[in-house]
């Protein structure tokens, strides 16, 4: 039975520079990078040294707290550099790709005939476990748990997000294999959400509970869907996987290989001709964007504008990201910016801001904060863009004064930083909501576990 999700609270940030539905092959990147920081809360232990050879799918590092949890190389080649920060913390591992790619053969398997434990071990051994994340805490899933449900959102509502229907077209077999495997790991079902009027390749899958989603962003956020379908209670766990990672998991079962290839969107107002590119996890950003950007005072974001990370052109595509967004930096002053009528920026108020007059206008927004950081003053704004049954300001404040009981009572197990991306966007006091929630989750993870 399909349970549809319709939300009203939210905000679609319409930006210029959506990717055209054309896929090109990106220049092949010579160096691929894995960053432990992409896997929040994991302390990496290297399993390879500089100069050693790796195959695609071979572990480069593993989780110190759980050695079974491995993080695979996206390509075959030579480990050329390990970049360390303070206290010798590993910041990045660089792999020089071979011309001829070699894959570790994990063996072709049919998930239908496998037990839960076999599937788990297979995913752990191949490094594909890293694609499964869990709530609470929004970290890589703990394999010791059995989740009450697994959620996949195949509806991307974030600004300029890559269209899943487009990038997943023709991948039905891989998706089915992955979903069949995952469905054995949960005591409940695998919930897959697709856009209401989409012809998603996921809507025809077996072993899933399908949901049709409509409404403004964050309707496509997996957190919103969990809250509407089966919210996380204390002591419960749910897992989430993004659809493009399902393809990699599915390919593992069908071919025995860890194939890190994915189609990503290159979008944003500073991209000459936004479109889709075929590349691999960890590819250098230069290989994708070189010669394709306008101007030079840009911000390159691995991910979407609400949740992505800032990257320099020399850095790499993030592990979980399927979009690179390039928007102008906003490091300029604006004359009487606080009094002038505003036509070219987005606002949910009408305080001499006029975006409410043009609901379909596409904006060329930059990274300016449009004001200074202040204490929380205005109330009631967050609720307009926050569809969860949680009091956003109260939970943020609870995180700030680190009251664990209160954080728990107010619903901290249900949230991830990305759920607070829109409240952060509309925040008049310019508070860093996602950072506050991330720190709160980290504190809970440390104290409660």
Partner 1 sequence: MGLKEKLHNIKGKVEGTNWQTMFGAVHTLFYSPNETTHSGGHLRGADDLKRTMMNVVLPLIPLFIFGMFNVGFQHNAAINGFPEGMGFFSPEFWNLDNLSIGAIKLLPLLVVSYVVGLGIEIFFATINKHEVEEGYFVTGMLVPLIIPIDTPLWMLTVAIIFGVVIGKEIFGGTGMNILNPALTIRAFLFFAYPTWMSGDKVWVAGAKERANEIMAGAELDAISGETILGALAQGQDFAYSVSDMFLGFIPGSVGETSTLLILLGGLYLIYTKVASWRIIVSSVIGALVMGLIFNGVVNAGWINEGSKFYILMSTEFWHHLLIGGLAFGIVFMATDPVTASQTNKGKWIYGFLIGFISVMIRVFNPAYPEGVMLAILLMNVFSPTIDHYVVQGNVKRRLKRLKAKTA
* Rounded distance between C-alpha atoms, residue 105 and residue 84, angstroms: 31
Contact status: 242 vs partner 1 (CB under 8 A)? no
Find out whether 264 and 323 touch, Cβ atoms under 8 Å.
yes
Position 358 contacts partner 1 (CB under 8 A):
no
Please say whether the dihedral angle defined by the alpha carbons of residues 234, 236, 241 and 242, taken in this order, is positive or negative: negative
Which of 12, 37, 383, 442 binds partner 1 (CB under 8 A)? It is 383
Beta-strand pair 208-214/5-6: parallel
Distance in Å, CB of 79 to partner 1, minimum: 31
3-state secondary structure of 308: coil
Residue 338 or 358: the one with the smaller Cβ distance to partner 1 is: 338
- CB of residue 381 vs partner 1: minimum separation in angstroms? 8
Residue 267 near partner 1 by CB under 8 A: no
Is residue 428 involved in binding partner 1 (CB under 8 A)?
yes
How far is 121 from 68, CA to CA, in rounded Å? 8
Per rule CB under 8 A, is residue 3 in the interface with partner 1? no
Count of residues in contact with partner 1, rule CB under 8 A = 77
Between CA 208 and CA 120 the distance in angstroms is: 19
Contact residue for partner 1 among 345, 403, 443, 445 (CB under 8 A):
345
Q: Does 357 bind partner 1 (CB under 8 A)?
A: no
Interface with partner 1, residue 124, by CB under 8 A:
no
**Between 28 and 349, CB nearer to partner 1:** 349
Rounded to a whole number of angstroms, the minimum distance from the CB of residue 419 to partner 1 is 12
Q: Which is closer to partner 1, CB of 188 or CB of 256?
A: 188
Q: Concatenated DSSP letters for 109-153?
A: --GGG--HHHHHHHHHHHTGGGG-EEETTTEEPPTT---SEEEEE
> CB under 8 A: which stretch of 52-60, 149-157, 237-245, 382-390 binds partner 1?
382-390
Query: What is the DSSP secondary structure assignment for residue 418, as one 8-state letter?
Result: G
Pick out residues in 405-424 that bind partner 1 (CB under 8 A). 409-411, 417, 420-421, 424
Among the listed residues 352, 358, 362, 402, the single contact to partner 1 using CB under 8 A? 352
For residues 75 and 56, give the distance between their C-alpha atoms in angstroms, rounded to a whole number: 4
Are 32 and 75 spatial neighbours (Cβ–Cβ below 8 Å)? Answer: yes
Instruction: Tell me which residues in 177-236 interact with partner 1 (CB under 8 A).
Output: 231, 233-236
Burial of 16 (C-beta count, 10 Å sphere; 0-12/13-18/19+)? middle
349 near partner 1, rule: CB under 8 A: yes
Residue 8 contacts partner 1 per CB under 8 A? no
DSSP class of residue 141 equals: P
Q: 123-145 as b/e, with b when 16 or more CB fall inside 10 Å?
A: bbbbbbbbbbbbbbbbbbbbbee
Binding mask 87-116 for partner 1 (x = CB under 8 A): ------------------------------
């Amino acid at each position: 039975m399909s349970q549809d999700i319709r939300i009203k609270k939210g905000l679609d940030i319409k930006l210029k520079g959506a990717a055209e539905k054309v896929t090109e092959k990106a220049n092949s990147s010579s160096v691929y990078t894995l960053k432990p920081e992409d896997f929040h809360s994991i302390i990496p232990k290297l399993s390879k040294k500089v100069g050693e050879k790796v195959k695609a799918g071979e572990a480069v590092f593993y989780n110190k707290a759980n050695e079974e949890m491995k993080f695979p190389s996206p390509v075959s080649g030579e480990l050329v550099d390990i970049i360390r920060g303070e206290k010798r913390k590993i910041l990045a591992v660089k792999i020089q790709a071979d011309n001829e790619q070699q894959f570790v053969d994990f063996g072709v398997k049919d998930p239908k005939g496998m037990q839960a434990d076999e599937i788990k071990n297979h995913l752990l051994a191949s490094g594909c476990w890293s694609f499964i994340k869990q709530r609470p805490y929004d970290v890589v899933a703990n394999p010791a748990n059995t989740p009450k449900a697994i959620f996949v959102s195949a509806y991307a509502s974030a600004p300029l997000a890559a269209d899943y229907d487009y990038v997943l077209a023709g991948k039905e077999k891989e998706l089915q294999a992955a979903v069949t495997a995952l469905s054995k790991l949960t005591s409940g079902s695998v919930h897959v959400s697709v856009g209401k009027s989409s012809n998603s390749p996921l809507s025809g899958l077996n072993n899933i509970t399908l949901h049709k989603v409509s409404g403004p962003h964050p309707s496509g956020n997996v957190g919103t869907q969990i809250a509407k379908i089966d919210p996380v209670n204390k002591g419960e766990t749910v897992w989430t996987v993004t659809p493009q990672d399902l393809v990699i998991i599915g390919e593992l079962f069908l071919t025995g290989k860890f194939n890190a290839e994915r189609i990503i969107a290159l979008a944003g107002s500073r991209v000459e001709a936004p479109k889709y590119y075929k590349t691999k996890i960890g590819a250098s950003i230069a290989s994708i964007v070189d010669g394709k950007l306008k101007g030079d005072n840009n911000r390159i974001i691995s991910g979407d504008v609400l949740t992505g990370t800032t990257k320099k052109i020399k850095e790499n595509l993030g592990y979980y990201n399927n979009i690179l967004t390039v928007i102008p930096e906003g490091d300029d002053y604006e004359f009487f910016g606080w009094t002038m009528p505003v036509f070219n920026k987005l606002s949910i108020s009408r305080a001499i801001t006029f975006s409410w007059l043009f609901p379909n206008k596409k904006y060329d927004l930059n990274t300016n904060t449009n004001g200074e950081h202040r204490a929380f003053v205005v109330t009631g704004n967050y609720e307009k863009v926050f569809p969860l049954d949680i009091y956003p300001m109260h939970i943020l404040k609870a995180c700030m004064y680190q009251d664990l009981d209160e954080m728990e009572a107010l619903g901290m197990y249900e949230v991830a930083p990305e759920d607070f991306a829109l409240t952060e966007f509309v925040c008049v006091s310019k508070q860093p909501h996602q950072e506050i929630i991330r720190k709160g989750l980290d504190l809970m993870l440390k104290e409660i576990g």
